[in-house]
A and B are shown apart, each in its own frame.
Chain A
């Protein structure tokens, strides 16, 4: 009764608001909010200078460079090929299209550890693909990038597909009637419609890659300063019972993740507006 009186904006005949919202809030708090706030509270046991020192040692800085850099480049490749895959799946017909469409979600469904050992085996120097390459992939930063491409693959495809399906053919016909080439139509008519969704997909893939652990640690080789990702560094600190140090790095990653979440929300709102306006 208290919840409904305090929060409801208008009268309703439907029952269950207090029970449903009450349970949801309790569960959300116990599972997510209180534990997450524990991370922030723990860092208060450090002074500001201790915190800065913990999150900016050369080894930690090297791990940020690798994690953010590889995640960015992986999301970039996914944006490019994700656009092609989504385009091909929506616009063309070809054999086994449905199968391929369904398999796009494989990185969501395949456990990260399984993906990790499979990618390591393929891209090792005697692996199916690795033996044909003139450079090493497994156990180098390049391997980190390969794993992050794998896990980010579905995001761009899946955010673009519905938008691409909704692009009205009349706009393209109008462009063609007015003398635009197909390339001009794509660049000036279709691409601007897709851009917000493309950026959303990019941001989602980037955010996922930042926190990824399971698929990366098998293929990375995990050499400090070279191929050690930030989530692994958190675990290493934890295993040395340096809880405060581990948490400080975790808080840096959490803040980055929350800022990305905010960006994604803004991008999604933009995407909806752009679609709604057409």
Chain B
């Protein structure tokens, strides 16, 4: 009933004539209640089959054999070293992409230059490349048969099947996240505030820290959250360059794969539950920040009008 009331509320022009009962009146722009219920039911069924049940399964399977097994699985030395490597890869790749995101967004949104659209397309490129291919291209360059393979071996350096390769692959797959969040917002904000600061004598860095950064901080945080989630969870690209050396080049998702293939399902789901919990935290943070960004976009829009 509340939807009928809401529809009527949105349409004061079609308010019911006195004497007509509310429940018998349906706005001209809404569907019969049975259609609404059927559509909501269909959406629920679809989301349950493909989203809720998988999510619940992760936690159910993780604790199926008891808390002891769970704790043993996540404090296993190989699991701990996988967690450490995942954190290392994330801590390096997120700041790198952050600096890139801010600088490319600054160039694209504050200046008018030739080739801007080409650059915009190129930023998104890593999203359309399969993670497996993302790993492959680094093998072609730094692998033993690769461009620098000979040179690296001569200098006793290792990139593929070692930590640097994992970091590179992670940087590649998370490349566009922060830039993508910043560009639309900064485009909407325009350049007037920065120009005003410039005219008043502010230096470039002063403009950035005191004018631009406060304006974009929520969108920036939003991009970092998305980038972080993907960096910790990446599987395909990292799998190609890792070499799967236990305790050395295994990230959390790779550790899950190995343990799972050894039929230690409870242990695999235990480590998986950590990543699933991270995903849930990500969604909550994302929701909170999204509301802020929306509010900010709205106020930017108001100012523009």
- Interface of A with B (CB < 8 Å)? 6-10, 12-17, 19-21, 23-25, 27-28, 31-36, 38-39, 42, 81, 84-85, 87-89, 91-94, 98, 100, 102-115, 117-119, 121-122, 128-129, 146, 149-150, 153, 169, 172-173, 176-177, 182, 185, 207, 210-214, 218, 231-232, 234-235, 238, 241, 243, 246-247, 250, 253-254, 257-258, 260-261, 265
Contacts and interface: CB of A to CB of B under 8 A. Distances in A.
Interface in B27-42: 28-32, 35-36, 39-40, 42
B55 A102 contact: no
Contacts of B22: none
Contacts of A232: 132
A7 B100 CA distance: 20
Nearest to B106: A20
A interface, over-half SS: helix
A85 B286 CA distance: 20
B223 interface: no
A214 B131 contact: yes
B164 to A, nearest CB: 13
Given A87-B39, A110-B55, A122-B57, A13 B195 contact: yes
Interface residues of B, number: 109
Contact of B130 (A108, A113, A231, A241): A231
A76 B207 CA distance: 48
Contacts of B114: 6-7, 9
Contact of A250 (B32, B43, B133, B138): B133
Q: Which 7 A-B pairs have the closest CB atoms?
A: A111-B233, A211-B130, A176-B28, A214-B235, A213-B236, A15-B204, A24-B104
A17 B28 contact: no
Given A102-B283, A103-B47, A21 B125 contact: no
Contact of B113 (A8, A34, A105, A109): A8
Contact of B208 (A16, A109, A114, A177): A16
B175 A258 contact: no
Contact of A121 (B131, B191, B254, B265): B265
